[in-house]
Amino acid sequence: MVSQSITAIDMPSADEFVENYIAKNQPVIVKGLDFDADQLKPEALKASLGDLTALLYGSLFDLEDILSLSDYMDDWFNLTGAMEENVPYVRWYNKLKDVDFAWGDEAFQRLAAVWRTPHCLPKADFLVPVSAAGAGTNPVCDAFPYRGLLVAARGARTRLHRDPFCSDAVVCQFYGTKEVALYRPERADELTKASDGTSFGGFVDVREDKLDSLSAIPDYHGFLRPGEMVYIPHGWLHDVIVTEDSVSITWNFVHRQGAKEFSRYLASQSNGDPEFEILQYFHRPVGSTKLTASEISNYHFAAS
């Protein structure tokens, strides 16, 4: 097979984006983000957020260390030479559940004035967050599942995985470059090494042998550059490596036009999923912090 290059398109309207990408579960890179580039460069980021405690992760989602953002950037940014193995990755998530943790909500508050929601993204009809129950739908100021500020040195990566509970993901790139490889959902069995019962793990490491090459040919392959957003539909496996010191923001959602697999997940696949508690947390506006999968399904689909 031949990998298809994924090239950035001009910013579509929200209606076009829903019709052509969300409803069709089709990946895309969109250019034309609205943000204050100078305020999201490394030195500006250190000035605005450097005192905050940052969370360092490995190449999947295993927490490895806690230190200030300034210390991370001093240690890992601006390195030259060949890419290093095991470069840590700052993932700063807004609150995802009711536990005491170094969440990234304050970091998002400090950055709220320097970036805007991509114009192509819808502002309504979200099942997660639950817009029908009054949950906010502006990721600049409202919480979303896995909304994270990602600060990563060259060589940091996110190994092949797919995102939880059949949610879609976007990544907005503000500084530096990432290489993105995307694999169709129907290739999951081919790319499974040993299922571990989670959405994230169990897949082969397509960069295990060499960081600069892929052992499995992706369906789509491209580079995410400043001012661009990649849309990763639910079920698509993806591998990402940072090719230049990088600053980006990511979040997940479930939209009504792409919710068929989400409904199936609630019916049969949520049992034992460790990420289900995050789905429960984001259904608090419905009136309970511990809704069952059946109750969540009835809320969204009973009248359908």
Predicted confidence band of residue 303 (pLDDT cuts 50, 70, 90): low
pLDDT at 62: 86
pLDDT at 196: 64
For 33, the token pair is 């983000």
Taking CA atoms, 25 is separated from 14, 61, 168, 185, 228, in Å, by 15, 24, 9, 10, 19
pLDDT tens track for 262-302: 999 999 877 789 999 999 999 999 988 899 999 999 999 98
Classify the C-alpha dihedral 285-171-244-218 as positive or negative: positive
Predicted confidence band of residue 28 (pLDDT cuts 50, 70, 90): very high
Neighbours of 172 (CB within 10 A): 26
pTM over 0.75: yes
Percent pLDDT > 90 in the chain is: 86
* pLDDT, average across residues 148-157: 97
**Cβ atoms of 73 and 150 closer than 8 Å:** no
* Domains (range + CATH), the chain: 4-126+136-255 (2.60.120.650)
- Is residue 85 helix, strand or coil? coil
Mean pLDDT value across the chain: 94
- Is residue 16 helix, strand or coil? helix
Q: Is 62 exposed, middle or buried (0-12, 13-18, 19+ CB in 10 A)?
A: exposed
pLDDT tens track for 63-93: 999 999 999 999 999 999 999 999 999 999 9
β-strand pairing of 4-5 with 220-224: parallel
Percent pLDDT > 70 in the chain is: 97
d(C-alpha 211, C-alpha 179), whole Å: 11
Taking CA atoms, 299 is separated from 75, 132, 266, in Å, by 48, 10, 11
pLDDT tens track for 48-58: 999 999 899 99
